Amino acid sequence: MLDALLAVLRPALGEAFSVWSSPVTWLEIVAFWLGVAMVLANMRVDPIGWPLAIASSLLYALLFADSKLYGEASLQIFFVAVALWGWWQWLRGRAADGQALRVGSMSARSRGLAAAATLAAWPLLALGLKHATDSTVPWLDALPTVGSVTATFLLGRKRVENWPLWVAVNVFSIGLFAYKGLWLTVLLYAVFAVLAVAGWREWTRLARA
């Protein structure tokens, strides 16, 4: 099914221009701008960021699958499902006290549990990619994938800690995508890293307020 979809969308995967002899596709350009708009909306705690995330994730799923980054491609499909959940959380979600969700920080125990779960999931996913796909970088592909899953859940619950985790994921992903020659996506994730730092500062201010 994936191969058939890629075949249908092959024109969008055609070269728009090249950077350092690596092609940049039309699909990558559209996904780039959707991704930037999504992060800017998240910084403002604007729910419109979630439908933007859905559109961007669908396009990146196809792009990553075409580059044989199956962990990242699967992550994008997961993002679509989680974005629907996050969108609902921001519109109708409630905190433990029954009040509407608001920006806040995690307890030390919650941060420890999130870190432990992320690190435990990394080798499981890496081994799955190694044995079930033809991924050329299963361990490098798996690490930002599991980190992104955790960060997305924290974003959905409006936890400040999603932003430093996104900083780490984005910086690591820059190297991964450079290795694969996805240069526009390298630029996007560099922008994401800078915006994540800005989002971290803004949400820290909101949490204190």
123-161 per-position pLDDT tens digit: 998 998 888 877 788 898 899 989 998 999 999 999 999
Residues lower than pLDDT 70 in the chain: 1-23
Phi, psi of 118 (to 5 degrees): -65, -45
pTM: 0.80
* 66 domain residue, yes or no: yes
* 12 domain residue, yes or no: yes
DSSP the chain: -HHHHHHHTGGGGSEEEEETTEEEEHHHHHHHHHHHHHHHHHHTT-TTHHHHHHHHHHHHHHHHHHTT-HHHHHHHHHHHHHHHHHHHHHHH-B-TTSSBP--B---HHHHHHHHHHHHHHHHHHHHHHHHHS--S-HHHHHHHHHHHHHHHHHHHTTBTTHHHHHHHHHHHHHHHHHHTT-HHHHHHHHHHHHHHHHHHHHHHHHHH-
* 99 domain residue, yes or no: no
pLDDT score recorded for residue 184: 75
* 45 domain residue, yes or no: yes
* 20 domain residue, yes or no: yes
> Which domain range does residue 147 map to?
2-92+108-208
- Which pairs with CB-CB distance under 8 Å and at least 24 residues apart come from 121-125? 121/146, 121/149, 122/146, 125/71
pLDDT score recorded for residue 16: 53
* 116 domain residue, yes or no: yes
* 97 domain residue, yes or no: no
What is the tally of structural domains in the chain? Answer: 1
pLDDT score recorded for residue 2: 46
pLDDT score recorded for residue 32: 83
* 60 domain residue, yes or no: yes
